[in-house]
Structure 1
Amino acid sequence: MATSLTRSGVPGGTTVPDAGPDTDALVPDETESERRSRLRTVVAASLLGTTIEWYDFFLYATAAGLVFNTQFFPDQSSFVGTLLSFATFAVGFLVRPIGGVVFGHIGDRIGRKRTLALTMVLMGVATALMGVLPTAAQVGVVAPILLLLLRIVQGFALGGEWAGAVLLAVEHSPRRRRGLFGSIPQIGLALGLALGTSVFAVLQTVFDDDAFLAYGWRIAFLLSIILVVVGFVVRLKVDETPAFREVDRLSRTSAVPLREVALPPNTRNTVLGLLARWGEGSAFNTWGVFAIVYATSELGLEKVPVLVSVSIAAAVMAVLLPFSGLLTDHFRPKTVYLTGIAAYGLAVYPVFWLFGTQSLVWFTVGLVLVFGIVHALFYGAQGTFFASLYPTEVRYTGLSVVYQFSGIYASGLTPLILTALIGATAGAPWLAAGYLVLTAAISVAATAAVRERDLFF
């Protein structure tokens, strides 16, 4: 077992090469059978929970460009309607930091398990209610207002989801498998996106355009009720993480986690973490959200095949994420994350060139390359990498701050920025591509400057 470190982290900010003490040592009375059962439950709770949460969140993203722009902003031009629809999409990211701070505080004070159960209920209720919202044609301006309010609830709930799901997996993980376990919640994001786009593709196939816009799209949102019930039950079965139990037993919980995250010695890693996330956030929302609208409006491709292409790329990502986790266990999270972000920056222009062929085949190839393969490389390492920035007692808040505050500019504004840049260049994507390369370069520099902590518990 590694020597215990001070509460404030690694002296001098240097990296400790050891993986830290074995989490299993914190549950010494556990039999091998009980250990395996615990880990299976953890995997199920992390994977199923994040799949449902991201299905709900990105279901809105898909609907923003296909449904909401006409059903909730019908008096605007197609371009302005899409911008307004993406603006409400961005609002979810603006609210997520508030949820991150609130649920991060709760998670660092009372534990990860109960906090995650609450976030799932809030997300599920908001998504299901979207499925019964009246349109602008029925209630006028009230419709987009109600849509905006429910999007705010979605963003607030998701603000506390990602960090908790990552910690549920990482803080339960065996000593030499923290990278693999940290990739599990990331698989949920890929599966959630694939599930959401697949459901929309099926519904658009089953219903004609009029029926789909009238009521077919609502089915995708109402399905959330079933998924949330299943996920909630599974999460109630998981134990609190051994790491948090140990901190709680030693009365080391932080009174104000946010203050410790913002002040030295954590200030440096917080700032660098916010910048390191920029490339990942812009990448995901380009390939998983913006590409759908770009392909159907600028490239003239059909909606259903485009949704299928995104689903295929997301499915490839889901398959490859565990391999990224294994690489993380061998080469450290920072190395894998930095390599993946750099590869993304190099791939942006070639992929947009493939998109420019206006061929569905090459569009799919480009998406699979940059979204299914390259994105999987760094996204699988991201959870463990960010977890290595903070000590246990403020880790939930720290991860939430880095992930959710960066989400405002790295994720939520990306579709708006790209839409505006392409509109300003008469449909040419190269200025928009340059913006994406810039975000990748910033993230590479910030990641290189991060001083990893040992994942001690």
Structure 2
Amino acid sequence: MSQQGYLSNEGHQVTREEKKVLAGTLVGTTIEWYDFFIYAQAAGFVLAVLYFEPLGEESETLAQLVAWASVGISFLFRPLGAILAGWIGDRFGRKVVLVITLMGMGGATFLVGVLPTHATWGMAAPLLLIVLRVIQGLSAGGEWGGAALLSVEHAPRHKRGLFGMYPQIGVPLGMILATLFMFGLNAFLTEEQFLQWGWRVPFIFSFVLIVAAYLIRRRVEESPVFTEMKERKKESSAPLKELVTTHKKYTFLAALIFAANNAAGYLVIAFFAAYGASSLGMSRTETLTASLIGGVGWFIFTVFGGWISDRIGRVLTFQIGYGIIIVWAIPMWFLIDTGVVWIFTLAIVVLTMGLGPSYGPQSALYAEMFPVSIRFSGVSIGYAFGSIIGGAFAPMIAQAILDGTGQSWMIGLYISGLAIISFLAVSVVPKKLQGINLQDDSEREEFKMAPKLKAD
């Protein structure tokens, strides 16, 4: 790719259709992650008591560990969701996947909100809760890949990081929305009211948000890259097979690149608030306030990460983000353990300074790593396995480390170790992939980035 070709988009003005695409990816991912986060926060506050009650009679710690484990179970099904979504997305388009995953995530979340507790339905209640988590996992496995590719594949070359940042900021925005809901409920309800019915309100309200997201997404056009690929009849007869045989390296790298960000992110999403309330004696209002401010910081630095990656490079942006996490993961616990709300909050905000640069450019980085015919499968499966390695059981592992050692900073050692692995993984990605032609794989073949794919 010539420098002239790269700069030819410098005068590009965002079109009305591109604005619709960005809005569709942003709104959808925000709502789907809102659904995911309200469950994670409920797991930290109420699910151990309401759905895993028999375990609580033996040990409150055991019940809480199982509640955290129920958060991670859905991640185990993300690869299957990614495979199914990749199969559909690589054949029928990115848009249809987004609608299917949105309905699956929203329906499961709503049903969690009306599911009777263990006291009413006995063992059927936690079992059905797990089934609904599985459905959420299948849906989440396909959601991100579709949104990421729609945004990046509509972008001019020099703005892929910026465009791809939109589905990324759905994570902190979803967290902010979920935390605001929990914060409001905690402010206006008594502890008894919150346990009896208040915690259900955010789950039931998700139905309204899903309808709104569907109305926005149905107006979005299909990705131009996928459309062009269809016109050229280049779709692979077995994208998953092609992915496994020709792009194992990049799929594996994609998983490792995401692992540390996802693990550290889930501490911000759920663990810190629960830890502050249960171990440090902080009020739920204080810990939710800290989480809310942390979500704002995550949003700001994710926007910055996507924007700056178009200027200094995606690999370098990731390295800066992970460098911050490596350095900060252990010292932050000494601030958190003060139990002073503003110091507690500061520790979280500094962590988000690393989370943003190691997340904002992810959509663009992944899209440039895979050829068009297997791109949906590649980014979705890499992302899904990364979430298993990283965030799936991060809260549970953190709780187990805390219970086993009694030293919170040991959790930081675990996060720092993961961040070193992710730092090394992203460092292997060739920098010359940035700005590569996404419609035509001739440049990829010229750079010898991957074997040439067969066409039907």
TM-score (norm 1): 0.91
Number of the residue aligned with 1:157: 139
| CA shift in 2, pair 1:236/1:434, >3 Å | same
Q: Distance in 1 between matches of 2:71 and 2:51?
A: 13
Gaps of 5+ in 2: 440-456
Matching residue's letter, 1:425: T
Matching residue's letter, 1:193: M
Number of the residue aligned with 1:396: 376
366, 377, 386: which one aligns with 1:386 = 366
Q: Distance in 1 between matches of 2:426 and 2:8?
A: 25
Number of the residue aligned with 2:121: 139
1:149-204 per-position Cα deviation (integer Å, ceiling 9, x unaligned): 10010110010001111111101112211110011111111100111111011111
How far has the Cα of 1:320 moved from its partner? 3.2
Find out whether 1:63 has 2:45 as its counterpart.
no
Matched residues, number: 433
198, 213, 227: which one aligns with 2:209 = 227
Number of the residue aligned with 2:165: 183
1:93-113 per-position Cα deviation (integer Å, ceiling 9, x unaligned): 011111011001111110001
Gaps of 5+ in 1: 4-15, 26-31
SS at the partner of 1:233?
helix
Q: Distance in 2 between matches of 1:19 and 1:69?
A: 53
Matching residue's letter, 1:247: M
439, 443, 451: which one aligns with 2:418 = 439
Matching residue's letter, 1:92: S
How far has the Cα of 1:416 moved from its partner? 1.3
94, 98, 103: which one aligns with 2:85 = 103
Number of the residue aligned with 2:442: none
Number of the residue aligned with 2:443: none
How far has the Cα of 1:131 moved from its partner? 0.6
304, 308, 317: which one aligns with 2:285 = 304
Map 1:123-272 to 2 at 5 A: 123-264=105-246, 266-272=247-253
How far has the Cα of 1:409 moved from its partner? 2.0
How far has the Cα of 1:456 moved from its partner? 2.3
Find out whether 1:48 has 2:48 as its counterpart.
no
Number of the residue aligned with 1:122: 104
Q: Distance in 2 between matches of 1:324 and 1:80?
A: 38
Number of the residue aligned with 1:360: 341
SS at the partner of 2:45?
helix
The answer on whether the counterparts of 1:19 and 1:455 sit within 8 Å (CA) in structure 2 is: no
The answer on whether the counterparts of 1:252 and 1:393 sit within 8 Å (CA) in structure 2 is: yes
| CA shift in 2, pair 1:99/1:262, >3 Å | same
How far has the Cα of 1:21 moved from its partner? 8.8
The answer on whether the counterparts of 1:21 and 1:456 sit within 8 Å (CA) in structure 2 is: no
16, 20, 41: which one aligns with 1:37 = 16
1:340-389 per-position Cα deviation (integer Å, ceiling 9, x unaligned): 11111111112111112121110001111112x22112211122112221
Q: Distance in 2 between matches of 1:59 and 1:325?
A: 26
Matching residue's letter, 1:50: T
The answer on whether the counterparts of 2:21 and 2:150 sit within 8 Å (CA) in structure 1 is: yes
Map 1:334-353 to 2 at 5 A: 334-353=315-334
| CA shift in 2, pair 1:23/1:153, >3 Å | farther
| CA shift in 2, pair 1:156/1:17, >3 Å | farther
Moved more, 126-135 or 68-77: 68-77
The answer on whether the counterparts of 1:190 and 1:315 sit within 8 Å (CA) in structure 2 is: yes
The answer on whether the counterparts of 2:10 and 2:158 sit within 8 Å (CA) in structure 1 is: no
The answer on whether the counterparts of 2:320 and 2:354 sit within 8 Å (CA) in structure 1 is: no
How far has the Cα of 1:405 moved from its partner? 1.2
Find out whether 1:328 has 2:309 as its counterpart.
yes
393, 397, 401: which one aligns with 1:417 = 397
Find out whether 1:290 has 2:264 as its counterpart.
no
Matching residue's letter, 2:163: F
The answer on whether the counterparts of 2:268 and 2:294 sit within 8 Å (CA) in structure 1 is: no
Q: Distance in 2 between matches of 1:103 and 1:367?
A: 34
How far has the Cα of 1:407 moved from its partner? 1.1
The answer on whether the counterparts of 1:274 and 1:406 sit within 8 Å (CA) in structure 2 is: yes
Q: Distance in 2 between matches of 1:381 and 1:432?
A: 26
TM-score (norm 2): 0.91
Q: Distance in 2 between matches of 1:172 and 1:221?
A: 33
